[in-house]
Homo-oligomer: A and B are copies of this chain.
């Protein structure tokens, strides 16, 4: 079965926005066992859209488009599809009424132009849009029109908050009904941190070899401060194959695995602290707030995250955290003793169970031969002890901050979650 994806939008072709639809849709489909063979982007130009859709209809079993269903003159996809398939556009009374209600509920006048969104190619199936006014449309190109077999064409709206729920709730069940998988499919992604991609691969490639020969797919994806390993298997032996692969990964990667699928390190940290009823404070110098930002992205963080201090200047380290002037003078702001005093200072001030402190040189300026750009000390203070680790992250400024925050969160996760990690490892085995 062949799937092609077409994203339309002049703003995409001008590079004004990132194409997040491609990643999101491909990921959803891959998780269900469907692979997208080709993705195409064209501008909001009628002939360009028509050419792209016509070519895709001649190659694929399923073509999904995003964008171009709105009310303005550069929304061309509906017209193009109707013309290509030789269908008349008819005003659909139900959709028209839904559009009216959309504006009524929001106490906003309905622009006349929005009525065009009630035009539906004859024979199309309508996908209700719970978050906007343009419905999704499903059409079938009959066998013989573009290729020997028929092709299904799904037209979906462009705004992510409209597209995503429509896809999950309506498109997925329909695709699974129209294109049932020939064989069972399972996949699993394990996320690691602290190891490079080649280190991860080196550890597991050999031991996985027999399973790979048996059909297990293994994929690696390296992001900043993290490496994902994705296992996938098809066929009657899919489930035991995947389980065997996961067992090997958990055994050989152990503590480096911080979560599954789309889990984020900050979510794991908040979850572990919440489970244990423990609290956290932070003292950030070189990460400048990123650590707090990541933690507070997690809903419910307020139950365990008390707050902290951004102590960019030496004075702030003294005033807000009580770091001693003597420590700063003798060892410098980027040093093991400063990280220790920062962690202990914020922990005692906020009365937290744990405190993380980060001090380092993000660059591009500020490095010295003894402490080059990329030097970092991370302190973790708890009731019983304070540990400080040093790292070297010689990257550009934003990568430096991201990697450093990742290391700090991981240090805490390993400390708070050592019991939980073993449990998860055993469950995997």
* Cβ-defined contact, A306 with B301, below 8 A: no
Asked if B42 and A37 sit within 8 Å, CB to CB, the answer is yes
> In the assembled complex, which residues on chain B have CB atoms less than 8 Å from the CB atom of A294?
289
B364 engages A299 (CB within 8 Å): yes
- A24 to chain B minimum Cβ distance, whole angstroms, is 7
Chain B, residue nearest A29 (CB): B15
The A393-409 residues at the B interface (CB cut-off 8 A) are: 397-398, 401
Give the residue name and chain of the B residue nearest to A288 (CB): B296
Pick the interface stretch among A113-121, A125-133, A241-249, A311-319: A311-319
- State in angstroms the CA–CA spacing of A135 and B390 once bound together: 36
Q: Is A195 on the interface with B (CB-CB < 8 A)?
A: no
- Whether B40 lies near A38 (C-beta < 8 A) is yes
**Chain B CB within 8 A of A300 CB:** yes
Q: A15-B27, A290-B289 are in contact. Are A305 and B301 (CB under 8 A)?
A: no
Q: Which of A6-14, A76-84, A143-151, A165-173 is the interface stretch?
A: A6-14
Beta-carbon contacts of A215-228 to B below 8 Å, as 1s and 0s?
00001010100001
A181 to B411, CA, bound (A): 55
| In the assembled complex, A100 has its CB within 8 A of some CB on chain B | no
The answer to whether B365 touches A319, judged by C-beta atoms less than 8 angstroms apart, is no
Q: Mark A1-40, 1 if CB is under 8 A from B, else 0.
A: 0000000001111111111101111111110000111111
In the complex, which of the residues B10, B287, B308, B319 contacts A219, with contact meaning CB atoms closer than 8 Å?
Answer: B10
A302 (CB) vs chain B CBs: closest residue: B312
A:340-385 near B, CB below 8 Å = 349-351, 362-366
Partner of A292, one of B10, B228, B289: B289
Nearest-Cβ distance from residue A353 to partner chain B, whole angstroms: 13
A309 partner residues in chain B, CB cutoff 8 A: 307-310, 320
A282 within 8 A of B: yes
- Contact with A316, one of B291, B311, B350, B365 (Cβ below 8 angstroms): B350
Interface residues of A in 265-299 (CB under 8 A from B): 281-282, 284, 286-297, 299
Are the CB atoms of A18 and B17 closer together than 8 Å? no
B14 touches A230 (CB 8 A): yes
Does A193 reach chain B (CB closer than 8 Å)? no
List the 6 closest pairs (A to B, CB-CB), nearest first.
A288-B296, A289-B292, A15-B27, A15-B26, A289-B289, A307-B316
* Least CB distance, A250 to chain B, in whole angstroms: 20
Residue contacts A-B, CB under 8 angstroms, 5 given? A289-B289, A289-B310, A306-B313, A307-B316, A307-B320
Task: Compute how far the CA of A401 lies from the CA of B289 in the bound complex, rounded to whole angstroms.
Answer: 13
Q: How far is the CB of A108 from chain B (nearest CB, A)?
A: 11
CA distance A158 to B35 in the complex (A): 21
A259 to chain B, nearest CB (A): 15
Report the minimal beta-carbon distance from A245 to chain B, rounded to whole angstroms: 17
Interface presence of A41 (CB below 8 A): yes
A52 at the A/B interface (Cβ < 8 Å)?
yes
Asked if A39 and B41 make an inter-chain contact with CB atoms under 8 angstroms apart, the answer reads: yes
User: A48 near B: Cβ within 8 Å?
Assistant: yes
- In the complex, how many angstroms separate the beta carbon of A103 from the nearest chain B beta carbon? 14
Query: Do A38 and B42 contact each other (CB < 8 Å), given the known contacts A289-B292, A309-B308, A320-B320?
Result: yes
Closest to A39 in B: B41
Q: Are A288 and B295 in contact (CB under 8 A)?
A: yes
- Given the known interface contacts A48-B37, A289-B289, the answer about A299 and B14 at a Cβ–Cβ threshold of 8 Å is no
